[in-house]
Structure 1
Amino acid sequence: MSLLRFTSRALFSSWFIAEGARNAVSPHAAAERLDPTIRKIVGSAKSFLPAEIAERIPEQTTTWVRITGAVQVLSGLGYAFGVARRPNAAVLAAMSALRLPSEATGVFRHRDDDAARTGLTTATAMFGAALLAAQDTEGKPGLVWRARFGVHNAAGRVQDATHQAVGSVQDAAQNAVDTVQQIAS
């Protein structure tokens, strides 16, 4: 990993780590903002999960803010140090997406509030950057490209082998015809 990539990952992750640590330690401010979003998600999850699992899901918003804060810290550290960086970046994107509805609501409620607009802009930018980071392959081909290339390469080899086999069969057939003609004459 290059120094530039390491530094960039550390800088990018620092926002998630700091935000996650703040939410894990003191969840009340974020819980107020995220309460409508978390209630909808928890309600939806409980409606389709089996009853024995649904009853174990916490309903308190502060608990969820602490959980997501801890997840943000762990994923941010993992991404910063290059450990499972694409899955960790995807988790960071999910954590950013969780904030978007509440930040957008804040902007619509307080249209003249610069802090609300800054919060929405930051959440949107971090969401986009995390999505991009989740797709980053460090200039190396991803698994999908490798699979497609492998299939294309294998198909080419099969076609070459088929042409060689057909050519060998044609040569053998011609030799057999020539031998039969020599014997007959």
Structure 2
Amino acid sequence: MTVVRALARPLLSAIFVVQGAQAIRDPESHVAKAKPVADRLVPMMKKVAPAQVGDRIPESTVNLVRLNGAAQVLGGLALASGKGRRVGAVLLAGSLVPTTLAGHSFWQESDKPARAAQRIQFLKNLGLMGGLLLAAVDTEGQPGLAWRATHGAKVAKRETKRGARLAKRETKQLARFARREAKLAARTAKAELPFS
């Protein structure tokens, strides 16, 4: 791991760990802002999710806030430690969507200074989302799964062609050898025949 990655991951995840822990300890302070978003998202998620998952989605806004906080703490720790960093980054990006919609809906503010402050926070969260998406696709300089699959297919195709050319060459050599042997056998047989 490079020095930049060793510094960037904990810096990026720190806000999620702190805010997530605060949401777990004191969810009531977030409930008022989270309720309108939760009231729209929960029924939609229950429709989309498979039955066994949909039945487990909490309907209580307090529990949803705690669940989102737990996701942020777990994702932040995974990203900061490097153990499951890509999954952690995806988890954080997913938890950031309802957090941003609930906490920084600047378009609903009528007061100009409040609207400007909420817009800044909204854009800050978009910036964090961008960083998380970069962290989610960071392979630490190693080839990614898509590249490996494409590269593996190209190598397999090249090796198949190579094997086919080799087989064709050997077949031609064997055919020449068989013709030579047949001619030699025919000459030998002709030479051994008694003259009549």
TM value normalised by structure 1:
0.88
What's the offset of the Cα at 1:34? 2.0
Moved more, 149-158 or 54-63: 54-63
Note the alpha carbon deviations across 1:60-82, whole angstroms, 9 max, x for none. Answer: 21111011101211110111010
Question: How many residues were matched structurally?
Answer: 184
State the match for 2:76 in structure 1. Answer: 76
State the match for 1:100 in structure 2. Answer: 100
Note the alpha carbon deviations across 1:104-133, whole angstroms, 9 max, x for none. Answer: 6x2112251232112211221111211111
State the match for 2:158 in structure 1. Answer: 156
Q: Relative to structure 1, is the Cα distance of residues 164 and 56 closer, same or farther in structure 2, using a 3 angstrom cutoff?
A: closer
State the match for 1:109 in structure 2. Answer: 108
| Paired residue secondary structure (1:140) | coil
Q: Relative to structure 1, is the Cα distance of residues 79 and 173 closer, same or farther in structure 2, using a 3 angstrom cutoff?
A: same
Question: Separation in 2 of the partners of 1:49 and 1:158?
Answer: 43
On the 8 A contact 1:22/1:69 being kept in 2, the answer is yes
Q: Relative to structure 1, is the Cα distance of residues 48 and 128 closer, same or farther in structure 2, using a 3 angstrom cutoff?
A: closer
Gaps of 5+ in 1: none
| Greater Rg by CA | 2
Question: Separation in 1 of the partners of 2:163 and 2:55?
Answer: 61
Letter in 2 for 1:161: G
Aligned to 1:128, which of 108, 121, 130?
Answer: 130
What's the offset of the Cα at 1:47? 3.8
Letter in 2 for 1:19: Q
TM value normalised by structure 2:
0.84
What's the offset of the Cα at 1:161? 1.1
Letter in 2 for 1:34: A
On the 8 A contact 1:27/1:62 being kept in 2, the answer is yes
Letter in 2 for 1:65: V
Question: Separation in 1 of the partners of 2:26 and 2:87?
Answer: 26
